[in-house]
Structure formats: C-alpha cells, structure tokens
Amino acid sequence: MKITILSLFPMMIEPFFKSSIMRRAVEKGIVSYRIIDFREFADDAYNRVDDIPYGGGAGMVLMPQPLSKALESVSARGKRVVYPTPSGRLFDQKKAYELAAEEELVFICGHYEGLDQRIIDEYVDDEISIGDYVLTSGETATLVIIDAVFRLIDGVIAKDSLEEESFSSCLLEYPQYTRPARYCSSCVPDVLLSGHHAHITEWRDDQRLARTMHVRPDLLSGASLSPRMRRKLIKVIEEKRTEDLENGHYQGN
C-alpha cells in the first residue's frame, strides 16, 4: 500500500513509520509512504496556509490554494482521499478493512478550524472522526487510522492474531496472562494451567461474553456467537432481569 500524508508537521508523523511493526512493513516493501509539507505550496512570501473564516467566528481555516496544489502534485484525483475530522463519520474496524483493501491512500491533516469546504468537495472521499472528542492536530488522528489499517494488510501481522482480536467478531478480547503463574499473591486462573484446550476455549468465550456485556453491550447485537455462548448470554440476561426485579429497578414501569 502507498500512503501519502499532507501535513504541516511532518516531524509528528515520521517516527511512526520508523518504529516497530510499521518499520518492518516498510522494510518488507508492504507499505511505502511519503509526507508532503503543504506549506511548501503556499502562495505568498510569508508561507501562509491559513486565513480567517468568511462570516466571522473563532480560529483560522486552511486556505484552498496550497492544499489544492499539494493534492495535484501527488495526483490525488482518482485516489482514495481521507480527511480526519471530528465532523466525520465514526471510524470503526469495518472502515479499517475497507481502507486496507485500497492500493493507495492520501491523508490530509487538518489544523485550526479545518479545511476550506471547497477542498473537501473537490478531493475528499472519506471524512472520518476517530471519536467524539477534539484533538489539536489531524496528524494524531491520521496516525490512528493508518495504524488500524496497515496491520490488516496481508503479511503485516499473523492472520490468527487478527481473527481472535476484539471487533473481528464483535466481542471484546479475553484477559491474557503470562509467567509467572503467581505474581504478588495473585494467581493465573487454574483453567489456563490445566492444558485442557476445550475448557480453556470455554473459559475464554465466557470471559469475552462477560466483558462485552459489561463494557460494550452495544456490540452484542452484531456478535457471532456459538450456540453455547448464545445459551450463556440468554441465561445471564435472565439472571440480570431477575436481579433487577428483585432490586425494584423496574418498579413503576
């Protein structure tokens, strides 16, 4: 995959491509990247890339000319252009898989009050928010998206790691333990030391279900559950309903 990033702060991005799993993906030729400082495409002697918003209001808006020149310099038309913004659609694993299927991605890192709308209308395919909060820079949001996407490309990480992890089945992951078996008077659950694979799988399924129900019940409607997990879920829901009734939580309904 080729990744192009238009940014005013390339030094925020460069280290990511030089570290850890991304570095290996670059070295293996699975990912290539270029970072374009679009300030270099500014029109005026002061290298200005932003200006006050028409109609008034706080903050500055990124001007269309430098960005459009930078986008044309990387032949962005016809490529998938992503603009991370708090006003975008919420990013999720499905979107990560969709973007991972592209040969090439172009990211525009916004700043201040964002881009002139004409750049969005002309070039942007996906406006993506990474969460309901506001960051100071589009660089961090861009890196979050790239991180979630590139690891899904064949050859970057082992396939079985992807299959087991949270969101690939709409269930959160089970807890993990490693040696030592006893640490500060706290022990690894016996079942994990038993060597009984069927019991370990059942225990892990139960943990995933319980964790998802507790932390992210909204995911359960899309979860792919084994018949055993489905029975377990129904049992837990019934137990919870009984408990709520006993505690009077449904009084007055």
Selected binder of ligand ADE within 4, 5, 25, 84 (CB under 6 A): 84
Selected binder of ligand ADE within 5, 25, 61, 138 (CB under 6 A): 138
Selected binder of ligand ADE within 134, 158, 184, 198 (CB under 6 A): 134
Q: Is 9 in the site for ligand ADE (CB under 6 A)?
A: no
Q: Which of residues 139-178 bind ligand ADE (CB under 6 A)?
A: 141
**At closest approach, how far in Å is the CB of 60 from ligand ADE?**
15
Q: Is 4 in the site for ligand ADE (CB under 6 A)?
A: no
Please check whether residue 8 is in contact with residue 39, taking contact to mean a CB–CB distance below 8 angstroms.
yes
Q: Is 59 in the site for ligand ADE (CB under 6 A)?
A: no
Per DSSP, the three-state class of 191 is: helix
Choice between 89 and 228, CB closer to ligand ADE: 89
Please give the DSSP secondary-structure letter assigned to residue 115: B
Q: Segment near ligand ADE (CB under 6 A), from 8-16, 71-79, 128-136, 174-182?
A: 128-136
What does the buried/exposed string (b/e) look like for 71-94 if buried means 16 or more CB atoms within 10 Å of the residue's CB? beebebeebbbbbbbbebeebeee
Cis peptide before 180 (omega within 30 of 0): yes
Selected binder of ligand ADE within 130, 143, 148, 149 (CB under 6 A): 130
Q: Is 66 in the site for ligand ADE (CB under 6 A)?
A: no
- Angle at the Cα of 103 (from 97 to 108), degrees rounded to 5? 80
Choice between 129 and 207, CB closer to ligand ADE: 129
| Helical ranges in the chain per DSSP H | 10-17, 20-27, 64-73, 93-100, 117-123, 138-150, 159-164, 190-193, 197-215, 227-246
Helix axes 10-17 and 138-150, enclosed angle (nearest 10): 20
Q: Is 7 in the site for ligand ADE (CB under 6 A)?
A: no
Binding site for ligand ADE (CB under 6 A): 84-86, 129-131, 133-135, 138, 141
